[in-house]
């Protein structure tokens, strides 16, 4: 089993998706819990953040345990994180810490056989790396540290899962955060002179002008593209596959249907797509969280 050494990947998966980054590990929760489809406007009260902090601790512990990080002591881990938060630890050499943890992993057969010193070192490094990553979480400044710690310890030691009601509060919060982040990005992006905005809210930027026909929504087109989240994370790319993709314009997300009809053959555009013109409240698989604004670079090659 390959242990995932980078907490940054794990915590962002949890924060943005409200669940496990193991595609098979959250089936039970997915059967009973749905992300709230309508975004509320009221602020979260303290009681909600208590719940969110506890559930975050629950989910994080369950995921780390599934990864086989048996060297972790739950009480020590949560105390280390709490100390880092209280002391506002700075000046972390992340690359150095990752290298140290990697060396321990290799020397201990994926942490399977460890001396007390190795366990202590790995525990301290992992807690520090997690803190560094967690600073980027949307609720870092609001986290109720005690509730987070209690939730983590309970799930680590007892396998406790959050209740359906608590998970809904957590999932709704994450949906709001994802939506707000996308909305804020699009507001700022629209201020750039090279970006145009349609009535639907779709934003587009011409990178290269074409000189051919434009498709209609009943056409099938051939295009090269790369799709990213607003943080630059690539989730799909025909360039990586080495060949353009063929698809009917009335069978794709609304942002593509509208955006590609603005393009001449041979043109290359960048589309900035609000969540309601993308994958909406559901997101798409593990890579596109609910309520995500998306960026696509697209070259229109052919109309069929």
Mean pLDDT by 10 residues, the chain (304 residues): 39 37 37 32 59 93 86 93 88 83 90 92 91 80 92 96 92 83 95 97 97 94 96 94 95 96 97 95 83 96 95
Domain boundaries, the chain: 7-23+35-177, 190-303
Which residue of the set 3, 22, 185, 235 is catalytic? 235
Which residue of the set 279, 288, 291, 298 is catalytic? 279
Which residue of the set 22, 48, 121, 236 is catalytic? 236
- For the domain made up of 190-303, give the CATH fold: Chitinase A; domain 3 (3.10.50)
C-alpha separations of 287 from 14, 66, 233, 284 in Å: 12, 20, 9, 7
Give the CA count within 13 Å in the CB-facing half-sphere of 178: 33
Which residue of the set 15, 104, 125, 253 is catalytic? 253
Contact 283, 291 (CB under 8 A): yes
> Which pLDDT belongs to residue 9?
33
Question: Which runs of consecutive H residues, i.e. helices, occur in the chain?
Answer: 7-17, 27-32, 46-66, 74-87, 94-107, 116-134, 145-158, 164-189, 238-241, 254-260
> Which pLDDT belongs to residue 193?
97
> Which pLDDT belongs to residue 135?
81
Largest CA distance in the chain: 69
Please report which helix (H) or strand (E) contains residue 229, including its range: strand 220-229
> Which pLDDT belongs to residue 133?
80
> Which pLDDT belongs to residue 192?
97
Which residue of the set 12, 130, 173, 225 is catalytic? 225
> Which pLDDT belongs to residue 47?
59
Our answer to whether residue 253 is catalytic in this structure is yes
Q: How many CB atoms lie within 10 A of CB 10?
A: 20
């Amino acid at each position: 089993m390959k242990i995932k050494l980078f907490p940054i990947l794990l915590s962002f998966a949890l924060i943005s998706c409200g669940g496990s980054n193991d595609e098979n590990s959250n089936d039970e929760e997915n059967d009973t819990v749905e992300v709230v489809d309508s975004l509320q406007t009221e602020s979260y009260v303290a009681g909600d953040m208590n719940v969110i902090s506890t559930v975050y601790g629950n989910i994080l512990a369950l995921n780390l345990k599934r990864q086989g990080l048996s060297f972790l002591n739950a009480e020590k881990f949560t105390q280390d994180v709490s100390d880092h938060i209280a002391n506002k630890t700075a000046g972390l050499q992340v690359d150095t810490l990752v290298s140290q943890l990697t060396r321990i992993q290799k020397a201990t057969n994926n942490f399977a056989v460890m001396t007390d010193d190795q366990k202590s070192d790995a525990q301290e490094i992992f807690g520090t790396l997690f803190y560094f990553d967690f600073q980027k979480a949307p609720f870092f400044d609001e986290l109720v540290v005690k509730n987070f710690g209690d939730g983590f310890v309970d799930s680590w030691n007892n396998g406790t899962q959050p209740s359906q009601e608590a998970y809904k509060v957590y999932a709704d919060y994450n949906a709001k955060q994802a939506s707000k982040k996308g909305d804020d990005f699009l507001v700022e992006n629209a201020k750039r002179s090279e970006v145009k905005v349609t009535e639907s809210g779709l934003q587009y930027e011409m990178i290269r002008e074409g000189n051919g026909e434009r498709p209609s929504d009943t056409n099938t087109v051939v295009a090269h593209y790369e799709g990213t989240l607003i943080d630059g994370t690539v989730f799909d790319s025909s360039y990586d596959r080495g060949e353009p993709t063929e698809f009917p314009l009335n069978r794709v997300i609304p942002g593509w249907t509208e955006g590609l009809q603005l393009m001449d053959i041979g043109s290359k555009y960048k589309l900035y797509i609000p969540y309601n013109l993308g994958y909406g409240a559901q997101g798409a698989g593990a890579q596109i969280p609910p309520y995500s604004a998306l960026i696509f670079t697209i070259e229109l090659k052919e109309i069929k």
